[in-house]
Amino acid sequence: MKRRSLLGAGALALAALATGAMAQTPAWPAKPLRLVVPFPPGGAADLFARLVGTELAQALGQPVIVDNRPGAGGNIGAREGANAPADGYTLMLGTVGTHAINPTLYGNLPYDTRKAFVPVAMVGSVPNVLVVNPALPAKTVAELTALAKRSPGKLTMGSSGNGSSIHLSGELYKHLAHVSILHVPYRGGAAALTDLIGGQIDLMFDNLPTSLPHIAKGSLRALAVTGAQRSPLLPEVPTMAEAGLAGYESTAWSGLFVPAGVPAPVVARLHDEVDKALRSERVKARYRDLGADILPMPQPAFDQFVRKEYDKWAEIVRVSGAKAE
């Protein structure tokens, strides 16, 4: 009896110590958060980060400071995010490039993308659009495919750079359609778009908001959008899947990530607050202006989405032979 009493007293003492330790642990968040963006200000990923960061700051009661760390196709910022303390105070805005394409494209990253991060929430997605010079005798994807098969390697496809999401959107088309088209990489999408309008190249997969004004003017012809659904900005233009390429889907998506090891309750809170932000009418209106899609999903579903994207683009990088510039 005496021994049981001593054991009971010891257990109560340990419980009291644990309770006291928990009481001394400051509630999260107790200080400002940093949101690392691995690209320069002004792009879609940066705009997503600033929109969501503003909403998170209001919901969490702490400032969310956007920290742009561009370079090496997003790898510099991704390394910064991967090496940050797992305390919930450093977040990262990852993309299809940093978390699905670059691991295979570069092959020697100083971190394992799949192990270094925890996917928290999908933030937004911008579809690409397949555009051609109006002089090209192809008004549908089927006609473009037939044209490419009649003259293998003759058609030219521009991109914003070797291994970019725009380039690999084209490689996915080539792979699924079984066509040979010459890839012409540029140092940026603007230069490629200029040559496409001028007739120096034949086609391009471009971010929809960039090409939209030229489609409206008639200086480019849109054949299909690359998302899973039609864009409300081009409701008459089919998706690539509707145009005959079953299984085709390619978007410039962005998501919120944290370093591996961040406590699960913090991950859950961040996901819930991002989900609430994406459902607000203010954010929805801004996304519509950007030509972006909102695709909220549960945290486990986003985790699975990132894994599937990793596998899909790893295969396309290998098939295409793309190498980092």
Same domain, 206 and 287: no
pLDDT category, 23, cuts 50, 70, 90? Answer: very low
Is the same domain home to 118 and 265? yes
Per the structure, the count of domains in the chain is 2
Contacts of residues 74-79 at CB distance under 8 Å and 24 or more positions apart, as own/partner, are 74/38, 74/39, 74/98, 74/102, 75/38, 75/102, 75/106, 75/109, 76/38, 77/36, 77/37, 77/38, 77/39, 78/38, 78/102, 78/109, 78/111, 78/113, 79/109, 79/110, 79/111
Do 264 and 313 sit in the same domain of this protein?
yes
Residues 107, 132: one domain?
Answer: no
CB-hemisphere CA count at 13 Å for 210? 26
Q: Is the model more confident about 200 or about 5?
A: 200
Band the pLDDT of 289: cuts 50, 70, 90. Answer: confident
Determine the Cα–Cα distance for residues 278 and 261; give it in Å rounded to an integer.
25
pLDDT of residue 247: 92
Decide which of 180, 210, 225 is a domain's last residue: 225
* Structural domain includes residue 25: no
Q: Is residue 13 part of a domain?
A: no
| pLDDT at 53 exceeding the cut of 70 | yes
Residue 242 in domain: no
Q: Indicate the residue among 189, 208, 225 that finishes a domain.
A: 225
Please indicate, yes or no, if residue 90 is contained in any of the structural domains. yes
Domain that holds residue 71: 33-125+251-320
Indicate if the pLDDT at residue 198 is higher than 60.
yes
pLDDT at residue 6 above 60? no
**Structural domain includes residue 24:** no
Per-residue CA distances from 78 to 41, 253, 305 (Å): 16, 15, 19
- CA-based nearest residue to 64, from 277, 210, 222, 216: 277
Percent of the chain with pLDDT over 70: 92
Over residues 192-200, mean pLDDT: 96
Rounded CA-CA distance 285/106 in Å is 37
If we measure between CA atoms, which residue out of 126, 136, 135, 216 comes closest to residue 166? 126
Query: What CATH number is given to the structural domain containing 306?
Result: 3.40.190.150
Residue 181 domain-assigned? Answer: yes
Out of 225, 243, 278, pick the residue that ends a domain: 225
Together in a domain, 166 and 118: no
Mean pLDDT, rounded, of the chain: 91
State whether 163 and 214 are in the same domain: yes
Same domain, 73 and 95: yes
Q: Do 219 and 150 belong together in one domain?
A: yes
- The answer as to whether 10 is a domain residue is no
69 shares a domain with 212: no
pLDDT level of residue 3 (50, 70, 90 thresholds): very low
pLDDT digits (tens, 9 = 90+) for 227-273: 999 999 999 999 999 999 999 999 999 999 999 999 999 999 999 99
Residue 239 belongs to some domain of the structure: no
pLDDT of residue 2: 45
The predicted structure's pLDDT at residue 295 = 87
CA atoms within 13 A on the CB side of 325: 15
Which pLDDT score is estimated for 291? 85
Amino acid type, 80: E
pLDDT of residue 91: 98
pLDDT in tens, 152-181: 999 999 998 899 999 999 999 999 999 999
Confidence of residue 26 (pLDDT cuts 50, 70, 90): low
User: Mean pLDDT throughout 305-316?
Assistant: 96
Domain match, 132 and 221 both: yes
CATH number at residue 182: 3.40.190.10
Instruction: Work out the average pLDDT over 179-208.
Output: 95
pLDDT score for 46: 92
pLDDT tens readout for residues 60-89 = 999 999 999 999 989 999 999 999 999 999
Model's pTM, two decimal places? Answer: 0.86
- Asked whether residue 221 falls in the same domain as residue 131, the answer is yes
